[in-house]
Structure 1
Amino acid sequence: MSFWSRWFGRKSSSPDPAASTGTSTPATDPREFFLAHVEQRLSARETTQSVTRHEQDFGLRAVISGREVSLFLHRLHADTRELSPEAREQAIEHFLTALSQTEEKTRLSWEEARPRLRPVLRPLTFGQGLELARPGHAMVGHEVLPFLRELISIDYEDRAAYLQQEELESWGVSFEEVLAAAHANLARFVPLSTELYERHPGPIWSIESDQFHESSWLLRPGFLSSFEKKVEGRPIAIVPDRGTLWIAGDAHSETVARLCESAEREYQASARATSPALYTVDEAMRVVPYARPQEDELAYRVRRGHRLLAACEYSAQKRQLDQSKGGEEEGGYFVANVMLASPKGSPETFTYCVWSDEQGPGDLLPEVDLIALPETKEHVLLVPWEEVRRIVGDRLVAEPTLSPRRYRPTAWPTPEMFEHLRAAALE
């Protein structure tokens, strides 16, 4: 029996990208048919010179009237999937016509764009495939929570676009000023209501909006903490997809378990997945990842949500890097997989990756719970990440351009280092 079978009880694997994004196989995925249909319709328009698909997102790149544009089709698909075939065709045609008309106009000035800005919460790797392919078109935003970032949406009547760096530079204003305007617009113009989703054993509130910005309210300073008197215990929240924000309290373990279950299920089923994790507020009323104050089985379930998000985001990053730089099969560097597994007999879930002496100095290792260092085929050291970094020191160098963070090994650990790694390894 191999080490992996003995320790984990089964073969470990990285998260299934289809499972974590709610997609099916190409032969059965209705989004694939929708994407192909919009692609065909856009290609047939006289003003369209070329159309290609996004490698890592549900959308298209096109050259329209000599200008490159990027289309993200999540919202259009969600808006039209319940319509009749005739109404769906009209909506698609209206969308493409509005897109062409918008692109033919001069880019919006700061004064024109300001009332249209909204903050949006997205996974850290969202849109990074486009950014790697076209560095000058990087989306404007910043990381606000582990593996999540805040972007700026420009909301038109018929579509939404993400603010890009070159457009921000043309306005001559700072990102802080743009962010303040986006938050002011969210508070002022988006209709907001809260509905009591469940009452027992503790109340669960659902945030409702008609403009697909429900998850954005988690970004509003003081919003989550304002529910302290409406829930029992410390306020906690889930944002499994863009249109879902549930808020409850952690006084009842059944309520916490309900949110854990709902967050993971909806995250894996959604075409607009955001996070399977739970969030709360700290003493300064800032939103932070939620952790159970006591070490019980529910604490393991809470940690699983955060680790599932990490594994899925690292998997998405690996696919983007492999496509942009060429995987090891094409002579490029090796981007290590992040795997998610539970040891036999344990309710705990860990992220881990393999670092072997067969990997080269240009390879990229993720920041995970455990590093597996094979000494022989049957003997593998499982060492906590913090211990590996402490022991090997500058033999792992952070790559500053990548989010989430990865490290380049400069050399294999020395025999002396391995003695320390064996002492730090899990039994």
Structure 2
Amino acid sequence: MGSFDDPPPDHLAALAQHGSWAEVRPLLRPILRPTTYKQAARDDLLHRWPEAAEIDTRFLSRPAFPFVDELVAIDLPSARSVINYSTLALWSVSADEVFAAARENLEAIAQPHDPRGNAILSRTDRDGSAYLTSWPLAPGWLASFSRRYAGRRPVVFIPDIDTLIVVPDIPHLLARIYRQVEQQYVDAHHRLSPQGYTLDADDTVVPFDRAGRHQQHRTAVRAGYRLAMWEYAVQAHWLNRALERDLEFTRYNLEMAIVGEIKLAGTDTRPYTYTVWGEGVDYLLPAADYISFASTDADNNAVLICTVPLTAALEITGLTPIPAMSPIRFEARFWPDETMLTQLKQASVAL
């Protein structure tokens, strides 16, 4: 059985082998991948084979967690194929039906926690046949650990596409696992996420930093920032490569612009991210916590005007996300006028 990350087969051949909806439905499995998964490969495909633009080769996907998407694979005997929108068009079903069928099939193979087993679960699935890192998507699976953990929340980690770790939210244990997972994430050939995921009050699986107060909340925040910065760096790399090649962002029908950076700042107790919007330059800005607006003086030195929380900056300037771009970026091809600058300065914060 081939790896998910083998080079994709010819798309037309892949479409021909999938079969009818009735044949394919029992073979569907959800998979989790970083939001930038295979984006560069698709861009290269469209560059080498412009005719592919007539086939919607975008993967069928939806957000599962921040910077992590849920896709659907067909589990064939000797290979796996990730469903794209052209494949979906062959069946008289909706995307929601495909995702629902995949999760239903996953529920049948995901193994709930064995109360007689070890409290800490750590498993590796080198060939992907067990779909381990998809198990958090199975209804009730993570909650099955709750009784054994005696009031402690279960926390699941998926540092790469082959590894699954579940532990109770004991503070000193979580601190150690976050360190271990971060290193595993950094070293992985196929990274997935350095973040831990747990249950909220409604038993929905959410990132640990979004599930309420805890002694390791800041650790979880930093892990979320590491994931964001890595995914934006991956995106920026292939956007800049495409820009050097085509002198525009052909895939998004966008003219040349600076691919803005996301930067980490603050302290260990209060980290934050920011990006810079400079006067006189066109940008594709990332979704950071803050936007710093900067001009230049007579000697061409950068001069900070104000730093504004992202939500307020978007409301004042009217920037909206670039369609179909993930991670999110905003196309900034103007400099705020005096009215906007006055409002931005009023919304400015000291960091």
TM range (shorter): 0.7 to 0.9
Q: For residues 188-208 of structure 1, what are the alpha-carbon distances to aligned partners after superposition, in whole Å with 9 as ceiling and x for unaligned?
A: 3x4747589x97xxx432356
Instruction: Count residues with an aligned counterpart.
Output: 322
Q: Is the contact made by 2:158 and 2:193 (CA closer than 8 Å) also made in structure 1?
A: yes
Match of 2:105 among 185, 192, 204: 185
Bigger relative CO (Cα 8 Å, ≥ 6 apart): 1
Q: TM-score, normalised by structure 2?
A: 0.80
Q: State the distance in 1 between where 2:110 and 2:154 align.
A: 22
| 56, 61, 75: which one aligns with 1:141 | 61
**Alignment partner for residue 341 of structure 1, among 255, 259, 264?**
264
- The one of 114, 133, 143 equivalent to 2:25 is 114
CA gap of 1:195–1:402, structure 2 versus 1, over 3 A, is same
2-structure distance, mates of 1:236, 1:418: 44
Corresponding residue for residue 330 of structure 1: 247
- Paired letter, 1:404: P
Aligned partner of 1:393 among 317, 323, 347: 317
Conservation of the 8 A alpha-carbon contact between 2:112 and 2:141: no
- Aligned pair in 2 of structure 1 residues 60, 235: CA closer, same or farther (>3 Å)? closer
Q: How does 1:26-425 map to 2 (within 5 A)?
A: 59-60=6-7, 68-69=10-11, 106-132=17-43, 133=46, 134-135=52-53, 136-188=56-108, 190=109, 192=111, 203-206=119-122, 211-231=129-149, 232-250=151-169, 252-291=170-209, 293-294=212-213, 298-324=216-242, 326-327=243-244, 330=247, 332-343=255-266, 346-360=268-282, 363-376=283-296, 377=301, 379-380=303-304, 381-390=306-315, 392-394=316-318, 396-423=319-346, 424-425=348-349
What secondary structure does 1:170 align onto?
A: coil
Query: Does the 8 Å CA contact 2:113/2:144 hold for their aligned counterparts?
Result: no
Does the 8 A contact of 2:292 with 2:307 survive in 1? Answer: yes
Alpha-carbon shift at residue 276 of structure 1 (Å): 0.9
Q: 2:291·2:308 contact (CA, 8 Å) conserved in 1?
A: yes
TM-score, structure 1 as length reference: 0.67
| SS of structure 1 residue aligned to 2:223 | helix
Q: Give the AA of the match of 2:256.
A: Y
- How far apart are the structure 1 equivalents of 2:17 and 2:214? 57
Structure 2 contact 74–83 (Cα < 8 Å) conserved: yes
* Alpha-carbon offset, residue 105 of structure 1: 6.8
State how far apart, in whole Å, the 1-side matches of 2:82 and 2:57 are: 10
Letter aligned with residue 100 of structure 2: A
- Note closer, same or farther for the CA distance 1:60–1:308 as it changes in structure 2 (3 Å cut): same
Question: Contact 1:193–1:207 at 8 Å: present in 2 too?
Answer: no
Give a deviation string over 1:40-73, Cα, whole Å, max 9, x none: xxxxxxxxxxxxxxxxx965466xxxxx349xxx
Note closer, same or farther for the CA distance 1:233–1:261 as it changes in structure 2 (3 Å cut).
same
Q: 1:205-247, CA deviations, whole angstroms, 9 ceiling, x for partnerless residues?
A: 2356671511100111221122211225222221111122222
* Matches of 1:393 and 1:333, distance apart in 2: 21
Query: Rg larger in 1 or in 2?
Result: 1
Q: 2:49 — aligned with what?
A: none
The one-letter amino acid paired with 2:73 is S
Closer, same or farther in 2 for the Cα pair 1:184/1:207, shift >3 Å? farther
Q: How far does residue 174 in structure 1 lie from its aligned partner after superposition? A: 2.2
* 3-state DSSP of counterpart to 1:397: coil
| TM-fit CA distance, 1:268 | 1.2
Aligned residue identity for 2:293: L
Share of identical aligned residues, percent? 27
The answer as to whether partners of 2:30 and 2:102 remain within 8 angstroms in 1 is yes
Change (3 A) 1:160 1:372: same
Alpha-carbon distance in structure 2 between the residues aligned to 1:329 and 1:348: 40
Alpha carbons of structure 1 residues 173 and 340: separation in structure 2 relative to 1, 3 Å = same
Contact 1:195 / 1:206 at 8 angstroms: preserved in 2? no
Computed over aligned residues only, the root mean square deviation of the Cα atoms, in angstroms, reads: 3.1
2:280–2:334 CA contact under 8 A, matched in 1: no
Task: Name the CA shift for 1:405/1:315 in 2 (closer, same or farther; >3 Å).
Answer: same
Greater CA deviation, 302-311 or 333-342? 333-342
Q: CA deviation at 1:104?
A: 11
Q: What's the CA shift for 1:275?
A: 0.8
CA deviation vs aligned residue, 1:360-407 (integer Å, no higher than 9, x gap): 2xx3211111212223435423332123223x332x232222122211
Specify whether residues 317 and 103 from structure 1 end up closer, same or farther in structure 2 by C-alpha distance, changes over 3 A only. Answer: closer
Deviation at 1:426, TM superposition (A): 1.9
- Are the equivalent residues in 2 in contact too, given 1:366–1:406 (CA < 8 A)? yes
Say if 1:338 and 1:300 are closer, same or farther in 2 by CA, change over 3 A.
farther
Point out where structure 1 has 5 or more consecutive residues left out of the alignment: 1-56, 63-67, 71-101
Any stretches of 5+ residues in structure 2 without a counterpart?
47-51, 249-254
